[in-house]
Amino acid sequence: MLTGSYHCGTLCWSFTGQPDSATACNWTIGRRYGALWIYGWAGETITTTGLSTAYSHGAVIEFHFCSTCGCLAHYQGRQRDEQGRQQMAVSLRMIDDPATVAALPIDHFDGLDTFDTLPRDHRCVADMWFS
């Protein structure tokens, strides 16, 4: 299980399992947040504790922030799939133990122009943390 928390420690997340990669996105909001996303399902693979404040981007995604310190917490889909699940993502930049995910490859998603996943460039999470 992976865990993450925010600057003040009042909002936390947990991720059950081990992600295969992390995603960096150049979409207008993704590049501003600088998150390294890992994905799962709300209440199943990803759980959060603590209060968050949401910013809704259209009818598709809500971005959640820690209500105390303002750190980007996670995003959650506003619609459910056929099984009633909501997609959710948390940023590895908030992980409690960075060494546990340092070797994960980075997937680059072009959310600005093509809406395609780009070829991997051999960078990993540790490279994005300027190690």
Region of residue 9 (left: phi > 0; alpha: psi -120 to 50; beta: else): left
Which pair of structure tokens corresponds to residue 52?
A: 């968050």
- Give the 3-state secondary structure percentages of the chain, helix then strand then coil, rounded to 5: 10, 45, 45
Domains and CATH numbers, the chain: 2-128 (2.170.150.70)
- Per-residue pLDDT of 56-66, as tens digits, reads 877 888 999 99
Q: Which of 87, 49, 44, 79 is nearest to 66 (CA)?
A: 49
CA–CA gap between residue 58 and residue 56 (Å, rounded): 6
Average pLDDT in the 51-72 region? Answer: 89
Q: Which position has the higher pLDDT, 109 or 72?
A: 72
Q: What is the pLDDT of residue 31?
A: 74
